[in-house]
Amino acid sequence: MEKEKIIYSAIQPTGNLHLGNYLGAVKNWIELQNSENYKCIFAIADYHSLTGNISADDRRKQIIRLAAELIALGLDPEKTCFYVQSHVVEHTELAWVFNSVCPVSELERMTQYKDKSGRQTKNINAGLLVYPVLQAADILLYKANTVPVGKDQIQHVEITRDIAKWFNKKYESYFPLADVLLTKNSKVMSLLEPEKKMSKSLGEGHVIELADDEETVKNKIKKAVTTKEGVENLFVLLKEFVSEEVYNKFTKQEKDSSIKYSELKTELTKSILNYFSDFREKRKELLNNHDEIAEVLMKGAEEASEIAKKTMADVRKIVGVR
């Protein structure tokens, strides 16, 4: 019998979920949790968010809001281990152990460090540099062997594999080498600057948040650019949210130049609002009942801690601090 694969993935509490988050990661999480071949461990990566610029009060609110949104989208606590990263103290302990085997030169070449330090020039903190080490600890603490990522995130899994190799070589063979599980979902670009990935950091008009109301979604899509790249991005969204018949109709019109982008945008707006209507209702219910969210997160943290404590007991013995 094939050994069950352990999947690990996490998301930062840095704002409401948007279409890019959903199609790039969360939709895939929901599909994976229903597979009998995987044990899924999903986390809210609040320690990672400390490297950014959000306030403590905003972070607390965002953790609750993100948990509510993920559950409302269909993340099932009965099928997954779902928790908040900081609720399991072993994450940072293992990260420190990994800091002692990871060369600084490897961290300095990471694309994410270059990108983020370029965006937040007034806050280039050490956390940005060692971010991949904590990420490796997140994954390897549970001996996860599968990490679902997009093509632009493969580098993160590669350095996790390297850190496992460096640890195993210096001490003893203990950690598995995690494999990439490429997500099938399409990359969603900004509505206003479609050469850039959809991101809250670009500004409000660039993203469609899943909780946006009808008027907001309508206005954002109405203002979406229809340059070559912009149209390609709108068709990415069409393929995800409209019927095959409607998608084929607009594809045909695009080819014979009879398309009216106002009609395409109207259809896309209606379809997105309808797709996430149940989500918005469930989200509202959960945000009015923090006790239900807290119960889910406490249960997940207990399950995660049980695994993490065993791993760290082994690691302490291996490195000679116990």
Length of the chain: 322
> Do the beta carbons of residue 145 and residue 176 sit within 8 Å?
yes
In DSSP terms, which residues pair with 147 in a beta bridge?
A: 180
Residues 13 and 65 sit within 8 Å (Cβ to Cβ): yes
Measure the CA–CA gap between 116 and 129, rounded to whole angstroms: 10
The DSSP secondary-structure symbol of 197 reads: B
- Can you read off the two tokens belonging to residue 169? 């070589």
In angstroms, the CA 145 to CA 122 distance is 37
> For residue 153, how many other CB atoms are within 10 A of its CB?
18
CA distances from 184 to 4, 7, 25, 243 (A): 21, 16, 10, 19
Distance CA 61, CA 63 (A): 6
Report, as residue numbers or ranges, the catalytic residues.
116, 197, 200
Burial 46-57 (b: 16+ CB within 10 A, else e): bbbbbbbeeeee
CA distance 61 to 303: 24
